């Protein structure tokens, strides 16, 4: 018989900043968030799949997305939009769980600005990683792959 060790609660805070230049106007890059069909094409890391996704892109809007590897879409992200300035800025908070256990809470700022005929995008994610269940290296890899997919879609 084994006894589970009591869970030690920990928090690791981190900030990730990613930048991309896209060869498309800010309105088209902004649409990658604002339009459901465009978002569904990139809003999951790497080769993972989106199993379910609701869409409510407005200040105060609440979205739920279940995703993960095809045979085990165990992650659920709950997003709440706080600040939306069309074609310029989106600020949202989201919590993520894996099989019902919360692994992180994030505050994400996405900024769009014109750059030599295209768009410069800066994504800043301020994160609290909970109980050692996720980390900045994996999160950065996931976010980076998503921003690359936006570029391919454009």
Partner 1 sequence: MTKRSTAHATFTIERHFPSPREKVFRAYSDPKSKAKWFVGPEDWERSDHKLDFREGGRESVSGGPPGQPVHYFNGLYQDIVPNERIVMSYEMHMDKTRISVSLGTTEFRTDGKGTKLVYTEQIVFLDGHDHLAAREEGTRALFDNLAAALEREAQAA
* Contacting positions for partner 1 (CB under 8 A): 9, 11, 13, 15, 80, 82-83, 85, 88-89, 91, 93, 95, 102, 105-107, 109, 111, 124, 126-128, 130
- If the CB atoms of residues 15 and 115 are measured against partner 1, the closer one turns out to be 15
**32 or 79: CB nearest partner 1:** 79
Angle of helix 136-153 relative to helix 26-34, nearest 10 degrees? 120
Least distance in Å: CB of 122 to partner 1? 9
Least distance CB 30 / partner 1 (angstroms): 13
Name the minimum Å distance from CB 80 to partner 1.
Answer: 6
The residues facing 67 across adjacent strands are 50, 75
Q: Are 120 and 15 in contact (CB under 8 A)?
A: no
- The residue (of 35 and 78) whose beta carbon lies closer to partner 1 is 78
- Based on CB atoms, which residue is closest to partner 1, 44 or 106? 106
* CB of 94 vs partner 1, minimal distance in Å: 9
- Owner of token pair 């074609």: 87
User: Measured from the CB atom, is 54 or 88 closer to partner 1?
Assistant: 88
Q: Which of 32, 25, 46, 40 is nearest to 150 (CA)?
A: 32
Nearest to 106, CA basis, from 14, 32, 40, 42 = 14
CA–CA separation, 124 vs 27, rounded Å?
A: 20
Going 56 to 59 to 62 to 68, the CA torsion angle's sign is: positive
Least separation in angstroms between residue 152's CB and partner 1 is: 27
């Amino acid at each position: 018989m084994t006894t589970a060790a009591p869970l030690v609660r920990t928090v690791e805070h981190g900030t990730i900043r990613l930048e991309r230049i896209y060869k498309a106007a800010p309105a088209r890059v902004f649409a990658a968030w604002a339009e459901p069909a465009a978002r569904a094409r990139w809003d999951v890391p790497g080769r993972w799949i989106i199993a379910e996704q609701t869409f409510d892109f407005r200040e105060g809007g609440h979205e739920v997305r279940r995703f993960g590897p095809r045979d085990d879409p165990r992650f659920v992200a709950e997003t709440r939009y706080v600040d939306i300035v069309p074609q310029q800025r989106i600020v949202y908070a989201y919590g993520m769980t894996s099989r019902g256990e919360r692994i992180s809470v994030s505050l994400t700022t996405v900024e769009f600005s014109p750059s030599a005929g295209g768009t410069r995008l800066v994504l800043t994610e301020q994160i609290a990683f909970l109980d050692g269940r996720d980390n900045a290296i994996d999160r950065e890899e996931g976010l980076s792959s998503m921003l690359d997919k936006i570029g391919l879609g454009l």
